[in-house]
Chain A
Amino acid sequence: MHRLGSVPRSHLVALLALLVLALYPAVQPYDTYYQTVLFTTFMIGVQAVSWNIISGYGGYISLGHSAFLGIGSYTAAIIALHSGVNPLWVAPLGGVVAVVLAVLVGSVVLRTRGHAFVIITIALLLSAQIVATNWRSLTNGSDGITLDLPPWSRDIQNIPFYLIMLFLFTFTVLFSALIRRTKFGTGLVAIREDEGKAAAIGVDTTRYKVTAYAASAFFIGVAGGVYAYFLTFLNPVGSFSILGSVTIVLAALAGGRGTLYGPVVGAFIVGIGSEMATVYGGSSSRVLIFGLALMIIVLFLPDGLLPTFQKAWRRYRPADTEYTDQAGALGAGTMQVRDRELASAVVADEVEASAEKLAGKPLLEVKGASKAFGGLVAVDGADLVVKQGTITALIGPNGSGKTTLFNLVTGAMKADSGQVWLDGTRIDTKKPWERGHMGLARTFQTTRLFKSMTVLENLVAPLPDAKWSTMLKPSVAGDEAVRARELLAFVGMEKFAAQPAGALSYGQQKLVELAQVLMLEPRLVLLDEPAGGINPSLVGRMVEIVRDLNRQGVTFLVVEHNIPMVLELCDPVVVFSHGKAIAEGPPQTIREDPAVLDAYLGDEWRPPAVTGTPAASDRPQGVR
């Protein structure tokens, strides 16, 4: 993210460039060659900036993105041909068709994590080419479609196209900027960084990804219609060329994917560079040049020019404040708030109210849950009840299935059998983010913050409900940011709001992760080893925070090996061994229970190297 001071500067440069480019045809109206080169550059820009939404922000690479350009071209051309309307008027329909296609393909392929998407995007491009070649009655096959020449004078032929494409380009950049400012944009970056974690904090990853893919298709589709009319001719090979996709990827990478202006800068480099390569090197060497350029960028400039340049500049001029949080300091003075007054606002009122009514009722119920990894049964018909308003502990030797149970409860894994109920609703068939929206939150044994994002961005990434309006709220500005700062203040981390999360110490990350899940306004928080690997004073702070939240009505289920802390903080204590609960009761009873002592120290005890096989869920720390 840009620091506050640098944002207006980059926007100013962009505005100035836009003005110069918009006035250029007025100064040189008859210079068609340069107008054509710039027109192509703007078109690359539209595509690279759009591509950046799904592949830069979201991290899902599309290698067939030029398919949308071809689809837009064909849509506009076919409608224009049959209706006699000027193709420019129907160009937006090309965008609509591109979006429909993206939603259809995306909702099949983007439901899971992984690499099927990139492969299907290549298939999409080639399939589109096959359809355009073979559906002769609609597309006229490989002969292609010829459109009427534009009605305006030949002398100024290119100027309208030039201006329309520049307008589209500008609009695409604004659209991309808008997306990046919303919780949707932050969520996309979260998905790129750690998709499983994003799902755990309420981000409906499927919806985010499909929406991003659709958003990345629209303007390309519109540009396709304009481009078809500019050429007045289109055929399958030209419209669905893989080299077009390479151009997009190259532009976005060269400039810096994941940034707002990177793809813009890249479009100018690639647009002008590829024209120069054609003029001086001949078109036959273009493939070779593109291939080498792609390899060189991936190997030596993976972040792209703009971020690399910014990093170098910052090293050269490190004048910016690194630690203090500008917005917080200049804002409403929430910085030094550490009093209990404000902390009580942490939990929504309705949660508090319902907590009082329901105290003592079962909030979480696990009934006969089982999960095996191959032959190793990690959770074996486990039953567990967490009552409303308690801080319940779950202890047990390494490999006893505690973290796996967490995974079954939060939906990171699917149980082989058994049920999970939250407050009277069966949740084991629900998606992880749906469980998050119902008020179930968790932290991880090894913290999983989004390391390249700032602490504040980490806090605004969670999505507390399934509403589209929430998803499209501004993220690091407005209500969300205010609440995030309150929660950071509550855990005592407000000073670090502008820091990249990866720069924090491990214990600090644990506190930030707790604050992060509190953004979900949870009713039940699962803490996985909150005191693991942090220093005693931070343990004390963690205990204090958990107590505080519990008083406000938040229920906790805590997995912890720090037994003194468990006995002090938690009641009741549940003891797990070999995948099920073997004892439950108040801490003082548990301390003396022979079955518990046996489970920890008895003849069934094995060194961690044996119990901690790779398939077991509680791997000892350090072996990853």
Chain B
Amino acid sequence: MTELLQAVILGLLIGGVYALMASGLTLVFGVMNIINVAQGAFLIFVAMVTWWLWKHTGIDPILASVITTPMMFGLGWVLYRTVIVRIRGSSPSMSVLLTFGLALTIEGILNITAGNKFKSATPSYFEESFRVGDISLPKSQVYGFLAAMLVLAVLYVVLTRTWMGRAIRASSQNPSGAALVGVGATSTAALAFALGASTSGVGGSILSVLYPFFPASHYDWISRLLGIIVLGGMGSLPGALVGALVLGLAETLTATYGSLRWATLVFYVVILAVLLFRPQGLFGTRLREDVAV
């Protein structure tokens, strides 16, 4: 029983972190129909930067997200303005190929500059745990979870309570209508892409503590995150949250009662099983079409 409870709690903790990482991906897809395959590479890039900062300045890796988040916001904005904007209006599959190329480019640059070795940030609390009754909660996971929840809450407020959030949501529902009332599609898309990228700022900093990483790790991460948004329903934020928790639970439960090596596979099997009954994912809506768009 304790074992089960421990697995569930750990699953929810890590699921919260996954939720944050996937939120940026699903946001970008929901607003501009772009699957950003480079989101995983963003995460690894940030983890590298965090690791470097921690190594050289001693700053706490999770706190380093105060630096990495605006950095990724800026980088996302610049990338959108210089690269992504060029494929606006072409089919979404082109965005997959373009961001896939971007991911490889980032991986290639990291290969050359940071070397092809596993790294991990190990602050002082790295091996410590909180104990609640019989359950032990690793401090790094708890801090990571809290940071992720804080950022998700901020993201929610930004999307629902600010002009920028309303502009992004308006643009995602009806771009031409939004343009008519003064919300420029391109600048809004740049903001949304930057916002999506900025979630990888916090996400990557947390990642650097929780998992060892090296440049090619981004494949594992992007396939996890993409799995989450397929399971939850593409473009749905609540869907990303639920999908992330399912992944977290699938991983910890498989690790507890089976072997960690099969954890990812179990998650993919869950996805296929869900798609069998709900092809649009848990929270996805089917697109409607009547007059040609």
Contact = CB atoms under 8 A, between A and B. Distances in A.
A446 B292 contact: yes
Nearest to A298: B98
B124 interface: no
Interface stretch (B60-68, B87-95, B138-146): B87-95
A196 interface: yes
Interface of B: 29, 35, 37, 83, 86-87, 90-94, 96-98, 100-109, 111-112, 116, 173-174, 176-177, 219-220, 222-223, 226-227, 229-230, 234, 259, 261-262, 264-265, 268, 271-272, 275-276, 279-281, 286-293
A617 interface: yes
B48 to A, nearest CB: 15
Interface of chain B, main secondary structure: helix
> Sorted from nearest, which 6 A-B pairs have the closest CB atoms?
A288-B108, A291-B104, A294-B101, A291-B105, A295-B101, A287-B108
Contact of A119 (B109, B174, B227, B286): B227
A578 B111 CA distance: 63
Interface centre among A113, A253, A288, A623 (most CB of B within 10 A): A288
A194 B289 CA distance: 11
B280 A112 contact: yes
Interface of chain A, main secondary structure: helix
B224 to A, nearest CB: 9
Contacts of A623: 176
Given A61-B93, A196-B289, A302-B90, A287 B107 contact: yes
A113 B287 contact: yes
B101 A291 contact: yes
Contacts of B291: 403, 444-446, 617, 619, 624
A123 B101 contact: no
15 contacts: A59-B93, A114-B234, A122-B223, A126-B220, A130-B262, A134-B261, A246-B104, A284-B116, A288-B105, A288-B109, A291-B103, A294-B98, A294-B100, A617-B290, A624-B176
Contacts of A130: 261-262, 264-265
A108 interface: yes
Given A112-B280, A246-B104, A298-B101, A287 B111 contact: yes
B96 A118 contact: yes
Nearest to A113: B287
Interface in A81-134: 105, 108-109, 111-116, 118-120, 122-123, 126-127, 130-131, 133-134
A24 interface: no
A119 to B, nearest CB: 4
Given A253-B97, A624-B176, A295 B222 contact: no
A517 B227 CA distance: 39
A111 B286 CA distance: 12
A233 interface: no
Contact of B104 (A118, A196, A290, A619): A290
A299 B83 contact: yes
B35 A119 contact: yes
Given A118-B35, A290-B104, A294-B97, A126 B226 contact: no
Given A108-B272, A291-B102, 15 more contacts: A115-B35, A115-B92, A122-B226, A123-B271, A126-B219, A126-B264, A130-B262, A288-B107, A288-B112, A289-B108, A291-B103, A299-B87, A407-B290, A614-B177, A619-B291
Contact of A403 (B93, B265, B290): B290
A249 interface: yes
Interface in A397-422: 403-404, 406-407, 412-413
A287 B104 contact: yes
Nearest to A115: B35
Contacts of B105: 288, 291-292, 295
A269 interface: no
Contacts of A444: 291-292
A191 to B, nearest CB: 13
A130 B260 CA distance: 11
B94 A302 contact: yes
A249 B264 contact: no
